[in-house]
Structure 1
Amino acid sequence: MILKGNDLKKIGYTEGKVLGLALTIIEKEYATLLPADQLALLQHVKDDPAGYVHHEKLSPLATEMLKPADATLALEPHGKPYKIYGAEAIEECAIQQMDIASRLPITVAGALMPDAHQGYGLPIGGVLATKNAVIPYGVGVDIGCRMCLTLYDLPVTMLEDDKEALKKMLVNNTMFGQATFKRPKDHAIFERDEFSDIAVVKGLKDKAWRQIGSSGGGNHFVEFGIVDIPSVADALGLQPGKYLALLSHSGSRGLGATLAGHYTKIAMDVCKLPQEAKHLAWLDLDTEAGQEYWLAMNLAGDYASACHHQIHERMAVGLRSNPLVMVENHHNFAWKEQDASGEEVIVHRKGATPAGKGVLGIIPGSMATPGFIVRGKGVSTSINSASHGAGRLMSRTKAKQTILPGHVNKVLKAAGVELIGSGLDEAPMAYKNIHEVMASQHELVDVLGTFMPKIVRMCGDERFKEVD
């Protein structure tokens, strides 16, 4: 039998670094003891930590126990330097958030992408490398939010000749927001041990089952369009030309959102930070909560991928065509990577695309502007990252208050885009100029091709497209 966190909680330990440290020391130093003897030893340390401060093996645990329970952790007086890409188009509040993140005692390095704007804790478009710690709000609420692009060997003339059939295909095979399929498709993801081993995850299995294959609200979409490959793309295995393609953008649905809230609360309980930094509370990966979050985060990321794959599988059936190639990437996630010195770091990309050397990714524009298939150059100052899109130019509230439906319809018509459903908060003019964003990060990625939306479905007011 191996001791678990619940065993220690029964003798008075509470969730946090102390509990995780106790489990680590027992496993490393006292694995040969019987579980009852291990518990008895940990009980002694808990009852008299001062008596173990100088103990050869238990000193770290005793020292941690004697620290003031609610001590606020101080930020570093000076933050780690970080590179800003496209600073002229980034709002000051996003830079201020990144300044605070750079002062965390766990921060190793940072970078700010040209699509950056204000978020909770880490700004959207913020990249942060930390030492042995993960920040739930550094990952984001929509864990594993990702892009997925499929190219088909079908004529792009279908977008006009078979427009109504393609629109019907989108309506029948995609669900957004609260809507779900009456008969969800099964998936191997539901056989994962996390759904039985982690209590909070176990309680979300039924909801995850209902939502599999669907997309969230907000800026999530599924759209048909044209991919243009201007020159031979060996990385894609494609010849130059135009291809019919399907692009989707969504995340881990209610599963990821609930996990983000649950573990953020735990992080804020055990990691007391000054008010301005409270949403940057982290979980030490040596603790049980940190390990749990890491497993749950990876499950949510894989679930998000499964949702996309089911969307694209449904479309492949309707199109009666197998995909030529698929490109996909997360942009709300944390990865274990190595820094320039070879040390392991935890890289948070909150609204940022992985752009390590040779890594493929998708950077979308808006519903009326192109997206880009990119290959990373592996630039260390960006922590091997690039933007995850154009980035918002105005808040959702401001967009709804100031953008006129008639103006949007004219822009869409000029771009040759058919919109099935959306809201004014997703109008093209609510976003930054994608061409300027790409110009600001030309040193970070090579562009292999472009994707131009032609038939777009999002979560929103169906009447929007009918207003002139």
Structure 2
Amino acid sequence: MENKRINGNDLLALGYDENSALGVALQINKKRLGFTREQMLAYFSAVLANPEAYLEDAIFKTLAQELLKQDELEASYIALKEEGHYEIYGEEHIEEGAKQQMQVAMTLPVSVAGALMPDAHQGYGLPIGGVLATSNAVIPYGVGVDIGCRMALSIFDLPAAYLTEHSDALKKVIMQTTKFGAGQGFQKGDRASHAVLEQDTFAMNDLLRSLKDKAWAQLGTSGGGNHFVEFGVIAFEQTDADLGVQAGEYLALLTHSGSRGLGATLADHYTKLAKQLCKLPYKAQHLAYLDLGTAEGQEYWMAMNLAGDYASACHEVIHEKVRQQLGAERLAKVENHHNFAWKEMWNGQELIVHRKGATPAAKGVMGIIPGSMASPGFLVRGKGQMESINSASHGAGRLMSRTKAIKTLAAADLKAILNDQGITLMGAGMDEAPMAYKDIHTVMAAQQDLVDVLATFSPKIVRMADDGSRED
């Protein structure tokens, strides 16, 4: 035990803060330089207590300099407040890292309310599955890298049996109507047209002007990672008057994707800008925000909304191409985004509600909560719970990281599950295997107070990116 490696928790216990000095100390510790664990801990404690005394020390000089630098920076940081209360749904199934990230988010001076959905897991800034309401401020990383990422469901006037009778034709339809993966796009002769490309916001600044042609090329394409286009069977046990769909089973198309390269570039640009303008302590740096009363805040808000409109247009193009190839009528279409920020009234005040991997679930609002490639998804109607900030989960949520899934899951097991469920998979890697996700039924059970289930969607033909891209 004497030479057990010193880790970040050991240094935090000594009084180190979560900042770059912690990283410098860990780098020094890797060398060990003949010291025992106890001796290294003693030195780290002494340097922390009096860094000036070690400014000429050959080993600990860099750490002393970094500690003094952090002391200077501390005075310029925006002060955080005491941690506030936030609601957690399905807490027993949520990893500690996601809860810690939510706790940090609640210390922002602009934070008013928060909630953690039952599919939550650790991300950057806000956890995936995190909902945060702020006062007149928007957090680029609270929206996410894939701005406007969303679900879209089309229900066709075709029976469920159409899937088995025309399986090969439906595979071709998917392959012919979209492209998958980071950077993928259409050549000029094959590009779609849409009114979103005529929005004035594209002329707002040089960055957006430079992105317009790429946005046109990628219009109607799908991202990598967990993005998909799939045919399946949607089953209504009861007639839904609002949708105008009778009880029964129908062929349906379900898509999941976002704003592609446009959104990713905007997210990167405005996150860097927010970090420059909003100096937060190290542990909260990814939550840097833009005041909506500033030009920069308004600029991001307009760019974010453009990216959301563009993401919706991508789904619209895919769904219309599919409908035309099927020669079918669409009985109903439902769509919702889950990486966005909205101006909403909550508890009598207008707030900016960030949903990073969370489905809007205000009273009467419809949404789609998918499972995995081998588990059902659900068409839901929100109940409008104030405690959840009118939100619900956006899916099952990851049970293990992509790296762990690739290293530990077996392709043979995935094949067996898909065969057992009668599912055809085109593309995807082991990082998207259903075993890498939480049980969707457990997630749904944890949010019965948030949504009512209207119908169940069972995937049957699933297309995902097969190039390992991570645009999700």
TM-score by length of 1: 0.83
> Out of 254, 262, 268, which is 1:261 matched to?
268
TM-superposed CA distance for 1:436, in Å, is 0.2
1:152 aligns with 2:153: no
1:291 aligns with 2:298: yes
> Out of 204, 207, 213, which is 2:214 matched to?
207
Letter of the aligned partner of 2:98 in structure 1?
A
Letter of the aligned partner of 2:134 in structure 1?
T
Partners in 2 of 1:192 and 1:234 — Cα distance? 35
Change (3 A) 1:70 1:295: farther
Partners in 2 of 1:70 and 1:147 — Cα distance? 44
Q: Structure 2: which 5+ residue stretches go unaligned? A: 1-72
> Out of 191, 197, 200, which is 1:190 matched to?
197
Q: Which residue of 1 aligns with 2:364?
A: 358
> Out of 71, 80, 93, which is 1:75 matched to?
80
Q: Structure 1: which 5+ residue stretches go unaligned? A: 1-67, 463-468
Letter of the aligned partner of 2:270 in structure 1?
Y
Q: Which residue of 1 aligns with 2:330?
A: 323
1:125 aligns with 2:129: yes
Letter of the aligned partner of 1:458 in structure 2?
M
Q: Which residue of 2 aligns with 1:226?
A: 233
Q: Indicate if the aligned counterparts of 1:129 and 1:345 stay in contact, CA closer than 8 A.
A: yes
Partners in 1 of 2:120 and 2:461 — Cα distance? 27
Q: Indicate if the aligned counterparts of 2:74 and 2:281 stay in contact, CA closer than 8 A.
A: no
Letter of the aligned partner of 1:132 in structure 2?
N
Partners in 2 of 1:85 and 1:413 — Cα distance? 33
TM-superposed CA distance for 1:70, in Å, is 7.9
SS at structure 1 position matched to 2:272? helix
Letter of the aligned partner of 1:454 in structure 2?
K
SS at structure 1 position matched to 2:397? coil
> Out of 390, 408, 413, which is 1:407 matched to?
413
Letter of the aligned partner of 1:254 in structure 2?
G
Partners in 2 of 1:110 and 1:366 — Cα distance? 26
TM-score by length of 2: 0.82
Q: Which residue of 2 aligns with 1:348?
A: 354
> Out of 379, 384, 390, which is 1:378 matched to?
384
Partners in 2 of 1:135 and 1:199 — Cα distance? 22
1:392 aligns with 2:398: yes
SS at structure 1 position matched to 2:341? strand
TM-superposed CA distance for 1:239, in Å, is 1.1
> Out of 458, 463, 469, which is 1:452 matched to?
458
1:243-277 alpha-carbon deviations (Å, 9 max, x no partner): 10000000000000000010001100010001000
Which ranges of 4 or more aligned residues in structure 1 deviate by more than 6 Å? none
Q: Indicate if the aligned counterparts of 1:230 and 1:449 stay in contact, CA closer than 8 A.
A: yes
> Out of 89, 113, 119, which is 1:115 matched to?
119
TM-superposed CA distance for 1:179, in Å, is 2.6
TM-superposed CA distance for 1:157, in Å, is 1.2
1:143 aligns with 2:147: yes
Q: Which residue of 2 aligns with 1:241?
A: 248
| Amino-acid identity (%) | 63
TM-superposed CA distance for 1:461, in Å, is 5.3
Partners in 2 of 1:322 and 1:293 — Cα distance? 38
SS at structure 2 position matched to 1:203? helix
1:252 aligns with 2:259: yes
* Superposition map of 1:172-187 within 5 A: 172-177=176-181, 178-182=183-187, 183-187=190-194
Partners in 1 of 2:135 and 2:451 — Cα distance? 26
TM-superposed CA distance for 1:413, in Å, is 0.7
Partners in 2 of 1:119 and 1:198 — Cα distance? 30
Partners in 2 of 1:353 and 1:335 — Cα distance? 12
SS at structure 1 position matched to 2:438? coil
Letter of the aligned partner of 1:253 in structure 2?
R
Q: Which residue of 2 aligns with 1:167?
A: 171
Letter of the aligned partner of 2:261 in structure 1?
G
Partners in 2 of 1:128 and 1:248 — Cα distance? 26
Letter of the aligned partner of 2:391 in structure 1?
S
TM-superposed CA distance for 1:294, in Å, is 0.3
SS at structure 1 position matched to 2:299? helix
Q: Indicate if the aligned counterparts of 1:181 and 1:211 stay in contact, CA closer than 8 A.
A: yes
TM-superposed CA distance for 1:181, in Å, is 2.3
1:191-249 alpha-carbon deviations (Å, 9 max, x no partner): 11111122221111011011000011000000000000011212221111001000000
Partners in 1 of 2:213 and 2:249 — Cα distance? 41
Partners in 1 of 2:169 and 2:239 — Cα distance? 31
Partners in 2 of 1:103 and 1:234 — Cα distance? 44
Letter of the aligned partner of 2:416 in structure 1?
K
SS at structure 1 position matched to 2:159? coil
Partners in 1 of 2:246 and 2:219 — Cα distance? 34
Number of corresponding residues: 393
* Superposition map of 1:47-66 within 5 A: none
Q: Which residue of 2 aligns with 1:21?
A: none
Q: Indicate if the aligned counterparts of 1:70 and 1:272 stay in contact, CA closer than 8 A.
A: no
Q: Which residue of 1 aligns with 2:34?
A: none
Q: Indicate if the aligned counterparts of 1:227 and 1:450 stay in contact, CA closer than 8 A.
A: yes
TM-superposed CA distance for 1:180, in Å, is 1.9
> Out of 84, 93, 100, which is 1:96 matched to?
100
TM-superposed CA distance for 1:169, in Å, is 0.8
Partners in 1 of 2:346 and 2:419 — Cα distance? 47
SS at structure 1 position matched to 2:158? coil
Partners in 2 of 1:254 and 1:179 — Cα distance? 9
